[in-house]
Structures are given as structure tokens and as C-alpha cells.
Amino acid sequence: MDKDEAFKRFGCVIGVADASFSVNRGEVFCIMGLSGSGKSTIIRHVNRLIEPTDGQIHVEGRDVMSLNAGDLRDLRARKIGMVFQHMALWPHKTIAANVAFGLEVQKRPLEQRKAAADAALTKVGLAGWGARYPDELSGGMQQRVGLARALAADPDILLMDEPFSALDPLIRNDLQDEFLKLSREVKKTTLFITHDLDEAMKMGNRIAIMKDGRIEQTDRPENIVLRPATDYVARFVSSISTLKYISASEIMTAGKTAGDAAEFGPSTPLPVLLQAFSDGASELAIKDGDATLGIIRASDVLDRIKEDLSRV
Amino acid sequence: MDLSVLLDPFAALQLPLAEWANDSMRWITSNYRPLFQAIKAPVKEFLDFVEDGLRDSPQSLIVIIFSLFAWQIANRAAGIVAFFGLIAIGLIGAWDPAMTSFAVLLTAVCLSVLIGLPLGILCSRVTIVWAILRPILDFMQTIPSFTYLVPVILLFGIGNVPGVIVTVFFATPPLIRLTNLGLREVRQDLVEAADAFGASPFKRLISVELPLARPTIMTGINQTVMLSLVMSVIASMISVAGLGRLVLVGIGQLDLERATIGGVGIVLLAIIFDRTTQGFGFTRRDRGNRGLWEQGPVGWVRAKLNGSKK
């Protein structure tokens, strides 16, 4: 049954259905979809901010659906940090109090809360801003605070609900880079929601593409672009250049080199191949060990670039 | 004959509403009088305590204490308003009735907040309670305030304590409404964020929802204070002493002097109360990131003490 049929027959909307996935420890897992695709609902199912009507959620082997109210609060306070699209900082609390709220909930002593808030603010580059109030900060700084708040209790899991969508493009780019850097340092298992395909490609180790509450494809970024599983995904990625993701094996043709051509592996990225041609090569041999897989002529590369540019 | 009944049906057909009211009131008074007397007792204790305190203390001490209090709670301007306001009340010869009105007002406002705030919170949590309470509040607010007086006399008698009770009845509905409204208007994403970090419903209420609803709730308390002052004249009809009685007697005897003293006294009291209670609405933020006890006279004394230690 699809969304329209359910609406006609029962007068309700399917938020999320048949959307199963698992996130590996330390991985950044992006869920990408347009508004109304159910991505914000699905991330709220993980910590049961929205109660699923059916289905299972497991966090480190624990069945989240079976937790009572107290255990669920404990899971939210200790295991999971969340960042929101519109920051959702409490305007009546100082930055430090905002950041330390998770620890306050856990009834940690004041000194510990202060230390954790300072440490988290330092991590996001806002040391010394603790005594200010949220509306004294710019949008980008506010979202850094949002990130610090999520990190303060040192949770294993980060839920990020379109964290950078409300920011200016340049600031968004900076924060993406910083988050990637931070992410490599702190190694948090991250579920990252976005409606921006470029952002998903940049942030995600793996990406799930959602439509109408269902997952269309779950894959590594390059496979999403090069090998879309459905028409919907294909249409989606059609605006993205494949050139960044293709390698020698996608360009080569069968055949043998005439003479003494330079040799490359099948996973060689395009820029390296282009460099070889601009250094004067006329054709390249693609080899896996001793076996010749194929050859690439300059015209093959040019055709491939032309094809990419002429996509819709 | 038949036709005339159809044309003027209300000549013959009558619902005995008056009788019902009479019967039910008689039934309540004969069966539950002890209950209403029991409600009256603690109110009377509190009221007497406040009134005795206000009337027996030296006048200048009261002026100083209340000015400092207003300064502490709100700001220096409120302290100055309280200082000159109280002096003006004394100079126009309204001191004693003003202290009585003050006591009635203080008692009524405390009771209203004690009843209204929890009820407002409950209404915002449990929609069914709000659905039931809402028409009752509509009824309480539209019924002419004089109408309250009759059942209150029958149940509680006359005097200052029934005056407090009728004032509470009149002044609490807006506080319930505005508390409920304020809590329901809190941005949902801020509430969700508190949930996401594992806050219990109580923790969420105390540290996120109530602070964010505070301006609306303070408007409610302000309304309660102002309505209590309005009621002080009406309540004087059931023999409540104070400034309201001066106005009432002034109307009855066309005595402009007393009416003026009573009226101006009420206005002065209203200004003092309004300025001071506004201070409850101030956040730490409004005070420039200073706590309540780091400002005003207490803050000044503390700063001096700390200075002398160093």
C-alpha cells in the first residue's frame, strides 16, 4: 500500500514504513530525502521522541521499544546527543547552562557540569562564550552551541536533524568541514539527516535515500551516484557530476595497448588519469596486477566528460 | 384561550430557576456549612496576621521596608514609587484603611496564585481538565461581579474574610487562563529538545516550560492584582473594611471627601503593587546576568561586606 492509498482508505498519512537500516559504530550515516519523506520522523523514532506504531529499534543490542519511561530518559541523557535544525537553544539559559543541560538532568555536581560545558565549547571553538545568551550569537555560532550541547554528556550516538540547513552556504560549508574533522576525532556513531544531496555525499560514509516514508537505496556515496537502484534515485543524482566518483574501470574499453603505455590500477580516480594525458600519454593500460583489464584513450576520457556534462 | 398560550407562552410557562437556586443554596448551607467555615479559618488566620502586622507596626518602618522590598524585587524606580506612594497615602489620611486593603489584597493575591498557578499548569497538561474548566471560567468571568456577593454572604457571612474569598473567585480566572496559554504557547522544538536530553516531565516543566511561559504568567498575576483592587470597592458592600468602604460610603452619602480619599488611595496602592510585582517578571537576563540577591539593597550590603573582607 502506498501513501495515497493509505490516505484514501484510512485518512492517515504514512510517516515511515519498511525503512530498515543499521548504522555501524563510528560511522556517519546520512538519511537524505525531500520534505515529507519521513526522514525527521525516522530520526525521532530512534530515541522515541515520536513513538513508532510498530517496528523495532535496537541500540547496542538493547531493544529501545521495550524500555520504560525512566530507562528511556536515561538512554536519551547518557547515550544519545541530538542536534536540531533550528538549534532549539533555550533562550533563558546561558550558553554554558544550555550545553550542560544533559548533565544537569543526570544530576551531576556543578563543578563537573561546568568543566564538561567548557570542554565541549572548546571542542566547537567557542571557549569563553559560556556566560552569554543564545541570542547574542550568530546562527553559525548557535549551531556550534547545539553541537556542544549534544557532545557535552559524551554520548556514543549523535542524532543530527538537518543541523546545517538553516545556515548560510559559506558557514554551512565551514561547519561541515569542522564536523567532519571533529567526527574523526571523537568517533561518534552519527545519524545525519539532510535534504541536501551534496551535503549527504560530503558527510556520509553511507547514505540512505528516502521517498514517501520508504528507503529507496542504502549505499556508499559513489554507488548512489554511479549505480542508482531506482528511477527516483537516478533522477535525484542526475544533477550531480559523476566525474568525482568514477575511476579507471568505469572509463576503460576492452583492447590492448599498441606500445609501451603507462599502467594504472582500475580504481585510479579521474584527475590522476587526466594528469597522465596532459603529461603526454596517448593511451593508458589498466592493469590489476599482471592482468590487463583494458585501455583508456584520451578520446574515451573526453567522451565520458562530455556525457557527464550533457546529463540533465 | 389556547391561542393566547401559543402567542404569549411565557405568561403560563415558567422554569422555577429562582426556586432551584434557593433550594440548592439552602441544601448546601444546611449540609456543608462546616466545610465552608473550615475553608474560612486558615484564610482568617493569615489575613489577621498580615493586617495586625501592618497596622501595629510604626508607619515609617512600613514605608522603609516596602520601599526596600520593591527595590529588591524590581528595581530602584519601583522602590522610589513605593516610597513616595506610601507617603502620599499617609498624607491624604488614608493610612489605616489602606493597610486593611493592603492586607486583604495581599491575602487574596496569595490565595489566587496558590490556586490559579497549579490549576493553570494542570489545564495545560491535561486537555480534558481544560475542556471542563474553560466554560466554568467563562461563566465566572461573564457573570456580574455583584452576583457573587449573595451566595458568598450565605455561605461565609460578611466581613473581611468573605471579602477575600469573593475577591479570589473574581481574580483567579485570568491567571488560570494565562498560565495555561503561556505553557501551551512555549515553542515545541524547545520542549522537544528538553525531552531529547532525557528531562523528566517535571524537570522539563520547571527548567524549560515555566521560565519560557513566565512573561504570560506574570501578565496573569498582574491581572489578578488589578482585578483584586477593582473588587475591593465591590467587596466593601459585604462589609469589607478599607479603602473600598470609603468609596462606598462616599457614594451613599454623596460625600466627595471620602470618595476622593478612598479612590486616590486605591490608585496609589495599585501603582505600588503594579510596579513591585513587575519585578517577578524580570529574569536573570533582565538584571544583566545578576541573581536576585546580587542586586538592590541586599546586593549593595553584600558588596560592602565582601569589600571589607578583602
- CATH number of the domain residue B217 falls in: 1.10.3720.10
pLDDT at A193: 92
Please indicate, yes or no, if residue B19 is contained in any of the structural domains: no
Which neighbouring-strand residues pair with A211? Answer: A214
A174, A182 contact by CB (below 8 A):
no
Share of chain B above pLDDT 70, in %: 96
In terms of C-beta distances under 8 Å and separation of at least 24 residues, what long-range contacts does B140-146 make, across chains too?
B140/B169, B140/B170, B140/B173, B141/B173, B141/B174, B145/B170, B145/B230, B145/B231, B145/B234, B146/B234, B146/B237
What would the DSSP string read from start to end of B197-247? Answer: TT--HHHHIIIIIHHHHHHHHHHHHHHHHHHHHHHHHHHGGGT--SHHHHH
pLDDT digits (tens, 9 = 90+) for B262-293: 999 999 999 998 888 887 777 666 776 676 77
Supply φ then ψ for residue A190, to 5 degrees. Answer: -120, 130
Please indicate, yes or no, if residue B132 is contained in any of the structural domains: yes
Confidence label for B80 from pLDDT (cuts 50, 70 and 90): very high
Cβ neighbors of B115 (< 8 A, separation 6 or more) are B168, B172
A residues 247-306 closer than 8 Å to B (CB): none
B285 closest CB neighbour out of A74, A133, A153? A133
pLDDT at A3: 65
Q: Do B200 and A88 touch (CB under 8 A)?
A: no
Confidence label for A148 from pLDDT (cuts 50, 70 and 90): very high
Please indicate, yes or no, if residue B290 is contained in any of the structural domains: no
Residue A83 reports pLDDT greater than 90 = yes
Q: Do A102 and B197 touch (CB under 8 A)?
A: yes
Q: Do B195 and A49 touch (CB under 8 A)?
A: yes
Burial of residue B42 (CB within 10 Å: 0-12, 13-18, 19+) is exposed
Distance from CA of A4 to the nearest CA of B (A): 28
Q: Do A49 and B197 touch (CB under 8 A)?
A: no
Cα–Cα dist A90/A93, whole Å: 6
What is the mean predicted confidence (pLDDT) over A216-230?
89
Q: Do A91 and B208 touch (CB under 8 A)?
A: no
Per-residue b or e along A251-283, where b marks 16 or more CB atoms closer than 10 Å to that residue's CB = bbeeeebeeebeebeeebebeebeebbeeebeb
Please indicate, yes or no, if residue B284 is contained in any of the structural domains: no
Residue A168 reports pLDDT greater than 90 = no
| Selected residue of B186, B197, B282 to mutate for chain A interface (largest A Cβ count, 10 A) | B197
Residue B169 reports pLDDT greater than 70 = yes
Please indicate, yes or no, if residue B216 is contained in any of the structural domains: yes
A40 part of contact set with chain B, CB < 8 Å: no
Q: Where are the alpha helices (DSSP H) in A137-196?
A: 139-152, 169-186
B289 closest CB neighbour out of A78, A82, A131? A131
Q: Where are the alpha helices (DSSP H) in B57-94?
A: 59-73, 76-91
A10 part of contact set with chain B, CB < 8 Å: no
A260: left (phi over 0), alpha (psi -120 to 50) or beta: beta
A232 part of contact set with chain B, CB < 8 Å: no
Distance from CA of B217 to the nearest CA of A (A): 15
Please indicate, yes or no, if residue B2 is contained in any of the structural domains: no
pLDDT at A298: 85
Fold for the domain defined by A3-237: Rossmann fold (3.40.50)
Nearest to A167 by CA among A188, A146, A136: A146
Q: Do A104 and B289 touch (CB under 8 A)?
A: no
DSSP A62: E
Q: Domain segments of chain A: what residues?
A: 3-237, 248-309
Supply φ then ψ for residue A159, to 5 degrees. Answer: -105, 120
Distance from CA of A92 to the nearest CA of B (A): 7
What is the mean predicted confidence (pLDDT) over A142-161?
92
Lowest mean pLDDT among A2-6, A169-173, B136-140: A2-6
Supply φ then ψ for residue A90, to 5 degrees. Answer: -80, 115
Share of chain A above pLDDT 90, in %: 28
pLDDT at A283: 84
In the structure grid, which three cell numbers stand for residue B110, read together?
Answer: 496569595
Distance from CA of A106 to the nearest CA of B (A): 8
Mean predicted lDDT score pLDDT of chain B: 88
Confidence label for B144 from pLDDT (cuts 50, 70 and 90): confident
| Selected residue of A90, A103, A162 to mutate for chain B interface (largest B Cβ count, 10 A) | A90
Supply φ then ψ for residue A214, to 5 degrees. Answer: -120, 155
A residues 136-175 closer than 8 Å to B (CB): 149, 153, 159
pLDDT at B310: 46
The parent domain of residue B50 ranges over 33-279
Please indicate, yes or no, if residue B286 is contained in any of the structural domains: no
B64, B79 contact by CB (below 8 A):
no
Other Cβ atoms closer than 10 A to A68: 8
Whether domain A248-309 has CATH 3.40.1670.10: no
Q: How many domains does chain B have?
A: 1
A76 closest CB neighbour out of B189, B198, B214? B198
Cα–Cα dist B35/A275, whole Å: 96
Q: Do A77 and B193 touch (CB under 8 A)?
A: no
Nearest CA in chain B to A83: B193
What is the mean predicted confidence (pLDDT) over B221-226?
90
A48 part of contact set with chain B, CB < 8 Å: no
Please indicate, yes or no, if residue B98 is contained in any of the structural domains: yes
pLDDT at B199: 93
B236, B244 contact by CB (below 8 A):
yes
